[in-house]
Amino acid sequence: MFDSAATTKPLPMIDPFGRSIDYLRVSVTDRCDFRCVYCMSENMAFLPKKDLLTLEELDRLCSAFIAKGVRKLRLTGGEPLVRKDVMTLFRSLSRHLDRGALDELTVTTNGSQLARHAADLAACGVRRINVSLDTLDPAKFRAVTRWGDLDAVLRGIDAALAAGIHVKINAVALRGVNEAEIEGLVAWAHGKGMDISFIEVMPLGDIEPSRLEQYLPLSLVRARLAERWTLSESEHRTGGPARYVEVAETGGRIGFITPMTHNFCESCNRVRITCTGTLYMCLGQDDAADLRAPLRASEADDLLSDAIDRAIARKPRGHDFVIDRRTRQPAVSRHMSMTGG
pLDDT tens figures, 208-249 = 545 567 789 999 999 999 999 999 999 988 766 789 999 999
pLDDT of residue 3: 53
Structural domain contains residue 195:
no
270 labeled part of a ligand binding site? yes
23 labeled part of a ligand binding site? no
62 labeled part of a ligand binding site? no
Least confident range of 93-102, 121-130, 317-326: 317-326
pLDDT of residue 246: 98
Helix axes 150-162, 114-123, angle to 10 degrees: 20
Query: Rounded to whole angstroms, how far apart are CA atoms 172 and 40?
Result: 14
Q: Is the peptide bond before 78 cis (omega within 30 degrees of 0)?
A: yes
Q: Who's near 200: CB < 8 A, 6+ residues apart?
A: 172, 173, 215, 216, 217, 218, 257, 258, 259, 260, 261
275 labeled part of a ligand binding site? no
How far from the centroid of its chain's Cα atoms is residue 202's Cα?
Answer: 13
Label residue 334 exposed, middle or buried (CB < 10 Å: 0-12, 13-18, 19+). middle
pLDDT of residue 241: 79
Structural domain contains residue 186:
no
- Whether the CB-CB separation of 340 and 209 falls below 8 Å is answered with no
280 labeled part of a ligand binding site? no
36 labeled part of a ligand binding site? yes
250 labeled part of a ligand binding site? no
**How do residues 103-146 score in pLDDT, each as one tens digit?**
999 999 999 999 999 999 999 999 999 999 999 999 999 999 98
Confidence of residue 330 (pLDDT cuts 50, 70, 90): very low
244 labeled part of a ligand binding site? no
282 labeled part of a ligand binding site? yes
68 labeled part of a ligand binding site? no
28 labeled part of a ligand binding site? no
202 labeled part of a ligand binding site? yes
Residue 292 belongs to domain spanning: 13-175+265-339
224 labeled part of a ligand binding site? no
Structural domain contains residue 91:
yes
pLDDT surpassing 60 at residue 333:
no
Structural domain contains residue 196:
no
pLDDT of residue 12: 85
125 labeled part of a ligand binding site? no
- Whether the CB-CB separation of 323 and 189 falls below 8 Å is answered with no
pLDDT of residue 6: 47
60 labeled part of a ligand binding site? no
Structural domain contains residue 253:
no
- Whether the CB-CB separation of 75 and 90 falls below 8 Å is answered with yes
Structural domain contains residue 122:
yes
Query: Rounded to whole angstroms, how far apart are CA atoms 80 and 30?
Result: 8
Q: Which residue type occupies 220?
A: L
The tally of domains found in the chain comes to 1
pLDDT surpassing 90 at residue 339:
no
Structural domain contains residue 71:
yes
What CATH number did the domain enclosing 275 receive? 3.20.20.70
Query: Rounded to whole angstroms, how far apart are CA atoms 335 and 77?
Result: 11
DSSP string, 27-47: ES-S--S---TTT--TT--PP
**By C-alpha distance, which of 214, 191, 222 is closest to 38?**
214
pLDDT surpassing 60 at residue 320:
no
Phi, psi of 115 (to 5 degrees): -55, -35
317 labeled part of a ligand binding site? no
132 labeled part of a ligand binding site? yes
10: DSSP letter: P
Structural domain contains residue 218:
no
pLDDT of residue 155: 98
